Structure 1
Amino acid sequence: MNIELADLRLFVMIAECGNLTHGAARAFLSPPAASARIKAMEQEIGQQLLVRKNKGVELTPSGDALLRHARLVLRQFDFLTDDMTNAQMGHLRIYANTTGVTEFLPAILARFLADHPGVRVDLQERLTQEIIRAVADGTADIGIISGTEGRDGLERLRFATDRLMLAVPSGHPLAHHDQVSLEQTLAFEHIALHDGSTLLDFLRRQLRRSAFDRQLRIQVRSFEAMCRLIEAGVGIGVVPESAALRHLQTMDITLLALADDWAVRDRSILVRRWADLPQSAQRLIDLLVEKEAGGAEV
């Protein structure tokens, strides 16, 4: 089978856009030229890859399989190019949970990018299952999750502990406790992060298991906004320890340990295969592990 890398890139762009015209534009080709190249690929492979529809295109089962492999082939070629040209150059794609994106990755990325000025980083906040799928299919080079979820075939490296705490206003009826269970908090209004955040997705599962049947009182975009509203007496909220301790320094809130087993989880790095990563990605992972080994709170 003889397929050029340029054709694989075109196919991935069309598949991701769900539209031949838009995918062709991303590849700087005319729609007829892109269509001809896709047809040539289908003839070479001996399988139909796309079904043309009124509003775009849909992948066939063979197209789905090609997309998975094409992403991996193209990323490995990008890694090869990065390592052969300059270890200080490249493009890393990182999918991470809410705590990673907002709490510890900014400081680590600042240090990493200062040492690697030619490296570009695409950092996206995603739900845990999206992170796992993205690493597995090559959409993301590095995934950062909390908990035990994973997938066979991926390499996992634990690098920190993700401890969740309950933040309440000073003087709140729960404030005199050192430790509470989630069930003990159900009578009070909860404040949480926005829809699409990993922590909210995780917390909603725990609330459902505890028979919390009301709507969340308010949802916000950041842990700082959560703690401000908690300080003002609007409600209570579950917050990662790193964020909670930082905001405790400037806000009148009280932090309580959560007695539930799920409140303490491992933070892990997911990759397809460490040995296949470019040097820049390996160095970034080293920084994450070194920060934990040094005893710094992340």
Structure 2
Amino acid sequence: MHFDLADLRLFIHVAEGPSLTQGARRAHLSLAAASTRIKTLETQLEARLLYRNSRGVELTPAGIRLLEHARAVMRQVDFLKSEFSDGGAGSTGHIRIYANTTAVTEFMPEILARFLADRPGVTVDLQEKLTRDIIRGVMDGSTDLGITAGPIVAPGLQRLHFSTDRLALAVPVGHPLAGRRQVTLDDTLQFPHVSLHEGSTMLNFLREQVENRGTTLALRIQVSGFEAVCRMVEAGVGIGVLPESAARRHQRTMRLEIVTLDEPWAIRERDMLVRKLEALPACVRALVDAVRSHAATRAGSR
């Protein structure tokens, strides 16, 4: 049985689209050519791979199995290319990263700016995802690297710890909670909160903690980043729970008070998740080293 690598890559594009039209566009093929290639794959495997519907395509059980194998094959092809590229190991390749809100908005942009400046042949796709989607993405091979914070269950994956942060409460100067040394989440629930946007890992995590107490979070406004949260808090719109590192950074330019959150879940261990570090392309392993180095430098400066 012979497989064309271009067909496998096309199948991955279609599955992730998830539509034949989007997959064909990403593979730079006409819709007719893409459809023919998928049918050829189905003939070779003697199995139907896709169900088509009005919203795009849905993978059959055989399609799900092929997607896992196709991703593994293409990862090894990229590994081979990076190992034998003219620029040396780690100088070329494409890296997909699923990460939580803090990573996407706070420290990964700074790390990636330096990393990519030194490697013009490397491209990166950084996506904000919920923790469960990060874990699933690494497990099924849809992403090379996952970045999470807090306790997780990820059987079969390697967890590469790189730093520790904690959640804190930002309040306006003069707020009733501003004079406290520490507060619990319950202490904050009588006040309106400023939060990140819907779908952010931070908001989802905070809602889980509040719902565990049998109540709901009083949201006054939702914004797109931690800087915007701090600006709203400074203006007296509400209070906000955010990583202490982000709160301290914005406190340098804003009138904020930061109060310790006395909760066991407030301390957040940050991990990188991979299936098997040694099996990753050199460019991904180089990025793992860059994240660790950045974290160690920050810890040393503190």
TM-score range, shorter chain: over 0.9
SS at match of 1:152: coil
Could you tell me which residue of structure 2 aligns to residue 24 of structure 1?
A: 24
Could you tell me which residue of structure 1 aligns to residue 108 of structure 2?
A: 105
Partner letter of residue 31 of structure 1? Answer: L
What are the superposed Cα offsets for residues 231-288 of structure 1, whole Å, 9 maximum, x if unpaired? 1111111010111001111111111111110000100001111101222221221122
2:195–2:223 CA contact under 8 A, matched in 1 = yes
User: TM-score of the superposition, structure 1-length normalised?
Assistant: 0.93
1:103–1:242 CA contact under 8 A, matched in 2 = no
2:207–2:217 CA contact under 8 A, matched in 1 = no
What are the superposed Cα offsets for residues 150-176 of structure 1, whole Å, 9 maximum, x if unpaired? 422211111101210001111111111
Residue range with higher mean Cα deviation, 103-112 or 227-236: 103-112
Match 1:143 to one of 142, 146, 167: 146
Structure 1: runs of 5 or more not aligned: none
User: TM-score of the superposition, structure 2-length normalised?
Assistant: 0.92
Could you tell me which residue of structure 2 aligns to residue 177 of structure 1?
A: 180
**In structure 2, what is the Cα distance between the partners aligned to 1:222 and 1:55?**
31
Matches within 5 A, 1:126-165: 126-165=129-168
Could you tell me which residue of structure 1 aligns to residue 48 of structure 2?
A: 48
SS at match of 1:48: coil
Task: Indicate the percent of aligned positions where both proteins have the same amino acid.
Answer: 55
**In structure 1, what is the Cα distance between the partners aligned to 2:93 and 2:207?**
38
**In structure 1, what is the Cα distance between the partners aligned to 2:117 and 2:47?**
47
Structure 2: runs of 5 or more not aligned: none
**In structure 2, what is the Cα distance between the partners aligned to 1:258 and 1:214?**
16
Residue range with higher mean Cα deviation, 32-41 or 61-70: 32-41
Q: CA deviation at 1:31?
A: 3.5
Partner letter of residue 42 of structure 2? Answer: E
1:70 maps to 2:70? yes
Partner letter of residue 233 of structure 2? Answer: I
Residue range with higher mean Cα deviation, 74-83 or 186-195: 74-83
**In structure 2, what is the Cα distance between the partners aligned to 1:122 and 1:54?**
28
Q: CA deviation at 1:37?
A: 2.5
1:212 maps to 2:185? no
Runs of 4+ in 1 over 4 A off after TM superposition: none
Equivalenced residues, count: 298
1:160–1:267 CA contact under 8 A, matched in 2 = yes
Q: CA deviation at 1:184?
A: 1.0
SS at match of 2:219: coil
